[in-house]
Amino acid sequence: MLEALLAGFEAALRVDTFVWVSAGLLLGMLMGAMPGFTTTMGMSVLMPVAFLVGDPLIGIPFLIGVYKGGIYGGSVPAILISMPGTAASVVTVMDGHELTKKGQARKALDMGLAASVISDFISDLLTIVLIIPVAAIVLGFGPPEIAAIMFMSLVIVAVTATGPVLKGLLMLGVGFWLSFVGADPFSAMERYTFGTTELYDGFHLIPMLIGLFALPEIFNAVRTGDRQRGRIASLVGERLSWPELKASLRTIFRSTGIGTAVGLVPGLGQTVAAMMGYIAAKNASKHPETFGKGDIDGVAAAESANNAVNGPTMVPLLTLGIPGDNVTALLLGAFMMQGLRPGPTLFETSGSIVFAILIVMLFANLIFWVIGYYTIPLFSRVVTIKKSLLIPITIMLAFTGTYLARSNPFDLITLIGFGVLGLAARRASFDVMPMVMGFILGRELEYSFGQTVSLAGDNFLQFALTERLGMTAIVVATPILGTLIGLRMNRLRRQELIRGG
């Protein structure tokens, strides 16, 4: 295997490969930055380019570039105009846009890039080193374990929510309930659809996110009128300093670990990773109350966790031929079109070329950094655009982005509905984040729990105690962990109150 790795290293050092990776990264960033245009759609559209080129060291790195660039690109509108470009960067909105409003857009964008590049690099390196040994472990995470992890995440979201616990719980419950709207995945029974076909698939995530996060911002911007000389923020702000990055390194490493683990399990994806990374960072923080109010650590946590997923998704894909989501399914197609068949024999038959691709993926992060470094100054100037120009553009992006996501006119109504809800929640100082988390985790939990019940059969207790000890352990640990974190949060909150006088 070492031989293949070395041969791969040699094969990877090609100028044209890096030119194509750069092109992929740049295209991916632009597509990711376009709200509603998902990474999957971008890759799907560019797929023919990859197979027409007909060289595995060009076509596949190109698509991987689009993948990485897309996941990062989504954070740019999230930070600047509170509109997540892709679902992966929903968590970035929380602190990213608050920083923009404080006049620190540049710093947030720099942190987004630094966190993405660092976590991508580390997780890619881990992927190359671990791809062979960990392949077997991946399979240990089936629906029962995923259900247990989702359950734990929900509990932790509930206890760490900002503001009064009851408000957080209520929003979490609302989100959880919203996730049930539509046909259930097991028997296609329609729930809360009122007999309409529009709600058959439930609410779509993209209009929900744009509605909840971007529309209230737009409304606010209109309402506050001409303060700050008619701009979102009076200035682009300072660049990220080295001490600031150093202070967030712990968070980045933690999120990288979480993202890597999430990426290894097929099908969980970037959004779930970003949430987990964010929650973990908030928990570990000495000042959790600043999260959601423009804490640079929040940006670091979300952006490193979502990008860390990218590399490790290659592990189940390449070693077992298992694509966990549509992005990896497209990559599977790309590999096959170049004559490489992902699966247990891939590394024996074409080890060097696969390592070459992985090594290109690793080095692509350096190019990623360079491209980000030169585009951020341009992007960050968005905040200096006059509101009278920026607001119409933002509204247009919100609506076109919503429609673009799946060409469904009903989504526009969803968008407005969630916009109103978001505005109302803000007025009554309810945090909408627990609702979004409840919505996303609720879907995953329902699906994996249904699968678990189906797998367990008639005797659930026996199944839980003999076959799935991992699941049982997580479920048992959850209330204990939840109580501990809850107590810690309460203590910090009280200290804050005392300090605040």
Partner 1 sequence: MIRLFVVLLKNLPGIIAGSLIGLLISTGPALAQFPERPITLITPYAAGGSHDLNARVFTTYIQRYLGQPIVIKLVPGQAGQKGTLEAVQAQPDGYTLIFTDNYRDQLYQHTFGTRHYDTTEDLVAVARVNYGQVGIIVRGDSPYRTWADFEADARAHPGELKMSHSGLWAAFFVAGAQIMKDRGLRLRMVPYRGGGPAKAALLAGDVDVSAAFPATILSDVEAGLIRILATAGSERTIPDVPSLAEVGVSPSTGYMHRAVMAPRATPADRIARLRAAFAQLQSDPDYQAAMAQLGENTEYLDGEPYEAERRALGREYAELAAAIAAL
Report the interface residues with partner 1, using CB under 8 A. Answer: 38, 40-41, 43-44, 47-48, 51-52, 138-140, 142-143, 183, 185-188, 197, 200-201, 266-267, 316, 320-330, 332-333, 336-339, 341-346, 406-408, 447, 450-451, 454-455, 457
Q: Which amino acid is located at 50 in the chain?
A: A
CA distance 358 to 126: 11
Q: How far is the CB of 341 from partner 1 (least distance, A)?
A: 5
44 versus 228: smaller Cβ distance to partner 1: 44
Contact between 93 and 82 (Cβ < 8 Å)? yes
Q: How far is the CB of 469 from partner 1 (least distance, A)?
A: 14
CA distance 113 to 123: 15
41 versus 314: smaller Cβ distance to partner 1: 41
CA angle 99, 276, 80 (to 5 degrees): 25
310 versus 380: smaller Cβ distance to partner 1: 310
Q: How far is the CB of 150 from partner 1 (least distance, A)?
A: 14
Q: How far is the CB of 457 from partner 1 (least distance, A)?
A: 7
**Which two structure tokens, joined as six digits, stand for 435?**
């609702």
Q: Outline where DSSP puts E strands in 161-296.
A: 182-183, 190-191
Contact between 93 and 134 (Cβ < 8 Å)? no
Sign of the dihedral through C-alpha 144, 145, 148, 154: negative
Contact between 42 and 48 (Cβ < 8 Å)? no
Q: How far is the CB of 319 from partner 1 (least distance, A)?
A: 10
Q: How far is the CB of 44 from partner 1 (least distance, A)?
A: 4
112 versus 144: smaller Cβ distance to partner 1: 144
Q: How far is the CB of 134 from partner 1 (least distance, A)?
A: 14
**Which two structure tokens, joined as six digits, stand for 256?**
């990288």
363 versus 410: smaller Cβ distance to partner 1: 410
Rg, C-alpha atoms of the chain: 22
Length of the chain: 501
Q: How far is the CB of 272 from partner 1 (least distance, A)?
A: 13
CA distance 340 to 361: 17
Sign of the dihedral through C-alpha 163, 391, 275, 238: negative
156 versus 440: smaller Cβ distance to partner 1: 440
Is residue 177 classed exposed, middle or buried when 0-12, 13-18 and 19+ CB atoms within 10 A define those classes?
middle
Sign of the dihedral through C-alpha 42, 45, 47, 49: negative
285 versus 313: smaller Cβ distance to partner 1: 313
229 versus 407: smaller Cβ distance to partner 1: 407
